[in-house]
């Protein structure tokens, strides 16, 4: 059985990753492909508990290296428990965030730099890389506005100040955005950059186009 | 102000580390030294939540690399929040387990090898090393018997099968024990090996002797 494709979606908060994963998953399922949808951090029992520590203000202020190690702990578990078994069984794996998020948020946003994140990836994830990464990244002002709208909605919905990352400043988001651009420029074969402040349907069309090419390549 | 000493206690489950830390802390306090006692994993709000994930069977079966990354996440947070500030303030820091435990349990017991643990230590902990490590390590049979007694007590006390590590097999403990011996042989300057199936008072005396030497050296 041919190995499945490992496809990750990346972007700032509010970029529409979750919506697009659902649309892409449905599109693949209609074409008879076996597909699973998962997310990082999370996706396993331990991973969801790790996610809570990362997002919950009761954890106190986490050191950037703590965030990085937690992200890789969740990832290590997801690889063994979810991602590798699915790929080996020929399934398409759609994952909401992966190591690029750690590089962008902790390497860029929290200024740890890329090198440590990439070294940890090598130690913890081995040679597992996404076959395709869809990076939803409008221009910085549009990205920031989306992240802020999302933050407002979350606060209204929960009555709390959920989401540690949403509390961060514009400068933080600018570093995250910039690091995502760097990753796309560094790995153009893997990363498809979907720019522009597009609507849901337009983004979906671009995603389907990129995925279709890979499916043809994968035979 | 002179920097405090960073002293770790290591050994298998049931080796008496916790008792000895209390005794040593009291001994230091009587001599007018400022001292804090902490433990790994744990010691911070986030760290204690990480500890729960590691020890709680609701986390499912954790991959060895997940355990390692979680251990270093807790450690990163403890360094920033607890250990470094205390050392900088001239306090003695007594820590129940540190990287040697990760090397012994995951590197040895779970057979990941030492290299990955030492590389992660370098990436996450930088050049922070204990000034002194007290390794409580009776011969293997005595160590195993103690670990088993502790496990029985824990099960009786909680009515559950607490403690993931306590459920492991003799072969696992043998690898942990062996790795601890390796560490002691590799770093004789740092690691003081306290062998023999000794009573609490005898161990305390040996600890006080080792610590006294370092205190003299540290001025």
> Are the Cβ atoms of A50 and B46 closer than 8 angstroms?
no
Q: Mean pLDDT over residues A62-75, rounded?
A: 97
Condensed to tens digits (0 to 9), the pLDDT of residues A144-200 reads 888 888 776 655 554 444 455 455 578 999 999 999 999 999 999 999 999 988 899
Q: Is B127 on the interface with A (CB under 8 A)?
A: no
Is there a contact between A172 and A102 (Cβ–Cβ < 8 Å)? no
By Cβ distance, the residue of A49, A72, A119 closest to B53 is A49
Using pLDDT thresholds of 50, 70 and 90, give the confidence band for residue B196: confident
Q: What is the pTM of this model?
A: 0.91
Q: Any idea what the Cα angle at residue A67 is, between residues A64 and A72, rounded to 5°?
A: 130
Helix H or strand E encompassing B27:
helix B17-30
What pLDDT does A51 receive?
94
- Residue indicated by tokens 């003695």: B92
Helix H or strand E segment including A6? strand A6-11
User: What is the pLDDT, as a whole number, of residue B156?
Assistant: 55
Contacts of A68 in chain B (CB under 8 A): 76
Name the residue among A104, A110, A115, A113 with its Cα closest to residue A143: A104
- Whether residues A50 and B53 touch (CB distance < 8 A) is answered with yes
CA A137 – CA A205 distance, rounded (Å): 15
Q: Count CA atoms within 13 Å of residue A90 on its CB side.
A: 6
A44 to each of A54, A142, B25, B35, B49, how far by Cα in Å? 15, 33, 40, 40, 17
Q: Is the pLDDT of residue B184 over 90?
A: yes
- Residue B47's pLDDT is 95
Among candidates A50, A69, A80 on the partner chain, residue whose Cβ is nearest the Cβ of B72? A69
Q: Looking at B27-144, which runs of residues are DSSP E strands?
A: 35-39, 92-96, 132-136
- Residue B153, pLDDT > 70, answer no
Angle at B123 between CA B121 and CA B124, to 5 degrees: 65
Residue B136 β-bridge partners: B11, B194
Q: What is the pLDDT of residue A1?
A: 80
* Angstroms from B195 CA to nearest CA on chain A: 34
Alpha helices for A56-113 (secondary structure H): 64-78, 84-88, 99-102
Residue B157, pLDDT score: 53
Residue B146: band (very low, low, confident or very high) from pLDDT cuts 50, 70, 90? confident
Q: Report the share of chain B in percent with pLDDT over 90.
A: 74
pLDDT score of B150: 78
- Do B136 and B10 touch, CB atoms closer than 8 A? yes
Q: How many CB pairs under 8 A join A and B?
A: 86
What b-and-e string marks burial along B173-197, b requiring 16 or more CB atoms within 10 Å of the CB? bebbbebbbebbeeeeebbbbbeee
Q: What is the mean pLDDT of residues B81-90?
A: 97
Strand ranges in A99-159 using DSSP code E only, listed in sequence order: 132-136
The CA distance from B121 to A126, in Å, is 18
Q: What is the pLDDT of residues B29-45, one digit of tens each?
A: 999 999 999 998 888 99
CA A150/CA A16 separation, integer angstroms? 10
**Who has greater pLDDT, B157 or B147?**
B147
Q: How many CA atoms lie within 13 A of B17 on its CB side?
A: 27
For the segment A90-115, the average pLDDT, to the nearest whole number, is: 97
> Exposed, middle or buried, B103 (CB in 10 Å: 0-12/13-18/19+)?
buried
**Residue contact B124–A65, C-beta within 8 A:** yes
CA angle B203, B208, B211 (to 5 degrees): 125
pLDDT for residue B197: 83
Mean pLDDT is lowest, of A50-59, A118-127, B18-27, B161-170, for: B161-170
pLDDT score, position B208: 97
**CB-nearest partner of B116 from A58, A60, A123:** A123
Is residue A40 scored above 80 in pLDDT?
yes
Q: Which of B41, B42, B44, B70 to mutate: most A Cβ within 10 Å?
A: B70
Predicted local distance difference test score (pLDDT) of residue A169: 77
Furthest-apart CA pair in chain A: how many Å?
Answer: 49
pLDDT tens digits, B98-115: 999 999 999 999 999 999
B124 at A interface, C-beta within 8 A: yes
Domain boundaries, chain A: 6-218
The per-residue pLDDT for B160 is: 47
What is the mean pLDDT of the segment spanning A42-61? 89
Superfamily designation of domain B6-218: P-loop containing nucleotide triphosphate hydrolases (3.40.50.300)
Contact A42, A71 (CB under 8 A): no
Mean predicted lDDT score pLDDT of chain A? 91
């Amino acid at each position: 059985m041919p190995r499945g494709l490992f496809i990750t979606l990346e972007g700032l908060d509010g970029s529409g990753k979750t919506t697009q994963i659902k649309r892409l998953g449905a599109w693949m399922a209609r074409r008879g492909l076996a597909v699973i949808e998962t997310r990082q951090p999370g996706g396993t029992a331990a991973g969801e508990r790790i996610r809570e520590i990362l997002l919950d203000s009761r954890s106190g202020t986490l050191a950037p290296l703590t965030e990085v190690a937690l992200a890789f702990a969740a990832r290590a578990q997801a690889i063994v428990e979810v991602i590798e078994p699915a790929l080996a069984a020929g399934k398409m794996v759609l994952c909401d965030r992966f190591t690029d998020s750690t590089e962008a948020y902790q390497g860029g946003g929290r200024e740890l730099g890329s090198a440590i994140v990439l070294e940890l990836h090598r130690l913890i994830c081995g040679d597992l890389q996404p076959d395709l990464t869809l990076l939803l990244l409008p221009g910085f002002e549009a990205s920031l506005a989306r992240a802020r709208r999302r933050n407002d909605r979350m606060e209204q919905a929960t009555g709390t100040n959920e989401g540690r990352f949403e509390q961060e400043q514009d400068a933080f988001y600018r570093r995250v955005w910039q690091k995502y651009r760097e990753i796309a420029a560094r790995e153009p074969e893997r990363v498809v950059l979907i720019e522009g402040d597009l609507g849901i349907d337009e983004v979906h069309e671009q995603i389907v186009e990129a995925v279709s090419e890979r499916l043809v390549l994968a035979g």
